[in-house]
Amino acid sequence: MNTIKSVSDMQQWACATREAGKRIAFVPTMGFLHEGHVALMREGKGRGDYLVVSIFVNPTQFGVGEDYEDYPRDLEEDTEKVSSAGGNIIFAPSAKEMYPSGYQTFVAVEKVTQNLCGASRSTHFQGVTTVVAKLFNIVKPHVAIFGEKDYQQLVTIRQMTRDLNFDIEIIGMPTIREEDGLAMSSRNKYLSPEERKQALCLFNALNQVEKLFRGGEKNSKKLIDRAATIIRVQSAADIDYVKVCHPETIEDLEWIDDRALMALAVKIGKTRLIDNLVLKN
Q: Round to whole Å and give the CA distance between 92 and 54.
A: 6
Q: Round to whole Å and give the CA distance between 183 and 95.
A: 28
Long-range pairs for 180-186 at CB < 8 Å and ≥24 separation?
Answer: 181/207, 183/36, 183/149, 183/273, 183/274, 183/275, 184/34, 184/35, 184/36, 184/149, 185/34, 185/36, 185/149, 185/273, 185/274, 186/30, 186/31, 186/32, 186/33, 186/34, 186/71, 186/72
Whether 37 sits among the annotated catalytic residues: the reply is yes
Q: Collapse the DSSP code of 102 into the 3-class scheme (helix H, G, I; strand E, B; otherwise coil) and give the result.
A: coil
State the pairing for strand pair 169-173/143-147: parallel
**Residues 183/275, Cβ–Cβ less than 8 Å:** yes
Marked catalytic residue, from 37, 124, 142, 246: 37
- Residues that are catalytic: 37
